[in-house]
Structure 1
Amino acid sequence: MKQLFVHDFRNAAAGLALAGLSACAVPAGKVKLPPVPAPESRVAQTGIASWYGPGFHGQATASGVIYNQYDLTAAHQTLPLGSRVMVTNLNNGKSIEVRVNDRGPFAKGRIIDLSHAAAQSIDMVGPGTAPVRIEVIEAPYKIHAIRASLDYTLQLGSFAQLENAQQMRDRLQQSFSEIAIVPTQSNNGTYYRVQLGTYSNRAAAEEKARQLAQNGFSVIIMEK
């Protein structure tokens, strides 16, 4: 599981029953991944592609890279960021190689968002969408199948001591039913993440995060 993005929701009026528990930030470890050997057959996915352009140009992507609509890039919900994929427009047979550097699309029924340049190269800017086949050329680590979508959870605390995580869980269980403690290894040892719920899309996770923020929680939205 990896952190997707942080909602730094802190409410000055947070008079919750969680006072006294000090959450510890989990240090980010650096991971160097080995090169992936070429697969015997490419992992593939078929579905509807869309594209995104001027409204997002110049904004940060999920990978931290600034989105440039003139680069050959794409957004995918589950493929590892940095993956290279071949996208083929099934209406005309035209293909383009792109690098996944963002998350999306979040419209129902779509599997990939192409940059304007990538969409233009396979003649789908005008129509806006097209049926495509995605083939993974290279990924940061080996994948056996492309997941259609991600699930999300909300992290409400992270503790170096299991007892503190258990105290937070016990208090939260007075109001919420789906609370879990997830041990996570870091360079500095084991941390215990207190997480709430499972959400099938980011919009639902964000809505719940906003509700929690109004009650003073600091919420981190996580991919499961």
Structure 2
Amino acid sequence: MKKLIGSAAFLGLAFVIGCGHKRQAVYAPPPPTPPTLHEPAPAVTSQAPSSTASATNAAPTEQTADEAFVESHTPIYSETGIASWYGPPYHNRRGANGQIFDQNALSAAHRTLPMGSLIRVTNLQTGQSAVMRITDRGPFVPDRVLDLSVASAKVIGVWRPGTAQVRIDVYAAPRPIDEGGRWCVQIGAFSKEKEAVKLEEHLERKYHTANVIEFTGPTGHWVRIRPLNDDKDRAVEIAKELKPEEGEAYLVRLD
């Protein structure tokens, strides 16, 4: 009985205590916060975050350095288009920026903005927005301009519908947006490796001065054409020259 009374008293005390696209200048953005380990790029292609809000608790309680920078500056570049989102099978795989993609952190993939660019993405239908970094390359789907991590998609209301019309405002970029850089053309994805290898061999003969490689990613097999010196103008020419039967071609910035 004494033990029971003691236990009840202890529990009571615990309860009380428990209730108690023009030429752009190079901008120097604030450094991103260290990423949480989690991201893909050719067998490996996705993103490491600059913000680390979780998908279930994506609204931060304090303003981050990136958000403060955005609030005190004007965009240096803007574009609109369709955004989608991605997570599995890219989660915890190494992404195009060399880091591990965390689908539960705020980040996005873009085909041509410099890696590490600081952006704010706004859902044009709902007005929801979030600040994040470009940490990966994609989306490799026609007529889409941005791929959001799961967390980013939830914050701006894209996760449930799957896609949405968005505005991308770029506030800082580590390199000029419309000139320079290292470029390539990426073709795919192919469901069968032999199809990708066959195209690789064909393109090696067609573009003998370029570096043509075939690689396997999380969603299929890809072929990448890197022109001599990763020249942008030549990459643009190659993307225009490729025929539809050779596959869906995407102009991609590597840096």
Measured against the shorter chain, the TM-score band is: 0.5 to 0.7
Match of 1:44 in 2: 78
Question: TM-score, length-normalised on structure 1?
Answer: 0.52
Structure number with the bigger relative contact order (C-alpha 8 A, sep ≥ 6) is 1
Cross-structure match for 2:198? none
The answer to whether structure 1 residue 58 and structure 2 residue 58 are counterparts is: no
1:93 aligns with 2:93: no
Q: Are 2:112 and 2:253, in contact at CA under 8 Å, matched by a contact in 1?
A: no
C-alpha distance in 2 between matches for 1:101 and 1:127: 23
SS at match of 1:113: strand
Structure 1 pair 111–222 and aligned structure 2 pair: CA distance change class (3 A): closer
Partners of 2:245 and 2:93 lie apart in 1 by 23
Bigger share in strand? 1
Which residue is equivalent to 1:133?
A: 167
Residue number in structure 1 paired with 2:110? 76
TM-score by length of 2: 0.46
Q: Deviations over 1:59-97 (max 9, x none)?
A: 111011111011111100001111111100001111111
RMSD after superposition: 4.1
Q: Which amino acid aligns with 1:152?
A: V
Give the counterpart of 2:185 among 152, 175, 184: 152
Q: What is the total number of aligned residue pairs between the two structures?
A: 143
CA displacement at 1:205 relative to structure 2 = 8.2
Q: Cα distance, 1:56 vs. partner? A: 1.2
1:104 to 118, 126, 138: 138
How far is 1:54 from its partner? 2.6
Residue 158 of structure 2 corresponds to 124
Query: What residue identity is the alignment partner of 1:115?
Result: S
Q: CA deviation at 1:223?
A: 5.8
Q: Which amino acid aligns with 1:79?
A: L
**2:111/2:253 contact within 8 Å kept:** no
**What percent identity do the matched residue pairs reach?**
38
Runs of 4 or more consecutive aligned structure 1 residues displaced over 2 Å after TM superposition: 38-42, 142-145, 175-185, 197-201, 203-208, 221-224
Task: Tell me by how many angstroms 1:199 deviates.
Answer: 3.8
2:117–2:173 CA contact under 8 A, matched in 1: yes
CA distance in 2, matches of 1:207, 1:105: 12
Q: Distance in 2 between matches of 1:222 and 1:43?
A: 17
Query: Which ranges in structure 1 are unaligned for 5 or more consecutive residues?
Result: 7-37, 155-171, 186-194, 209-220
d(CA) in 1 for partners of 2:105, 2:94 = 14
Distance 2:208 2:186 in 1: 10
Q: Distance in 2 between matches of 1:133 and 1:86?
A: 8
> Are the structure 2 counterparts of residues 41 and 109 from structure 1 closer, same or farther at C-alpha, using a change threshold of 3 Å?
same
1:97 partner SS? strand
Distance 2:207 2:229 in 1: 19
